[in-house]
């Protein structure tokens, strides 16, 4: 399986994005009980907790990065990711290969 990129969005509702830097490690966690989106994946950072969500709308997904709905079945209940690029529209992140390989075994 190739590299999987996603857009981190909604950071303005938590701590903003100013503290994020390329290479920082993030934790993804599925939220199947989310009342707004059954494919919701919350993004967390150690020491802070929730910092945003994996974008799941054509209005919030940047470029060819994948939406939460497209990666939902490619990860387990949790996954690790790294910040790759920070833009005005959102943050591009990459899912760790280890998080993906668990499903392929």
* pLDDT tens figures, 34-75: 999 999 999 999 999 999 999 999 899 999 999 999 999 999
Q: What is the three-class DSSP state of 13?
A: helix
| Distance, CA of 84 to CA of 98 (rounded, Å) | 17
Enter the DSSP assignment of 35: S
- Which domains are seen in the chain, by residue range? 5-98 (3.30.70.2330)
Beta bridge partners of 19: none
59 burial type by CB count under 10 A (0-12 exposed, 13-18 middle, 19+ buried)? exposed
Where does the pLDDT of residue 89 fall: very low under 50, low under 70, confident under 90, or very high at 90 and above? confident
């Amino acid at each position: 399986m190739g590299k999987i990129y996603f857009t981190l969005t909604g950071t303005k509702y938590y701590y903003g994005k100013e503290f994020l830097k390329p290479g920082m490690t993030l934790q993804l966690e599925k939220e199947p009980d989310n009342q707004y989106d059954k494919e919701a994946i919350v993004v967390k950072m150690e020491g802070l907790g929730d910092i945003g969500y994996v974008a799941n709308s054509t209005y919030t997904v940047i470029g060819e990065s994948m939406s939460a709905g497209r990666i939902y079945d490619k990860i387990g209940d949790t996954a690790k990711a790294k910040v790759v690029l920070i833009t005005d529209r959102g943050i591009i992140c990459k899912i760790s290969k280890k998080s993906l390989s668990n499903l392929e075994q």
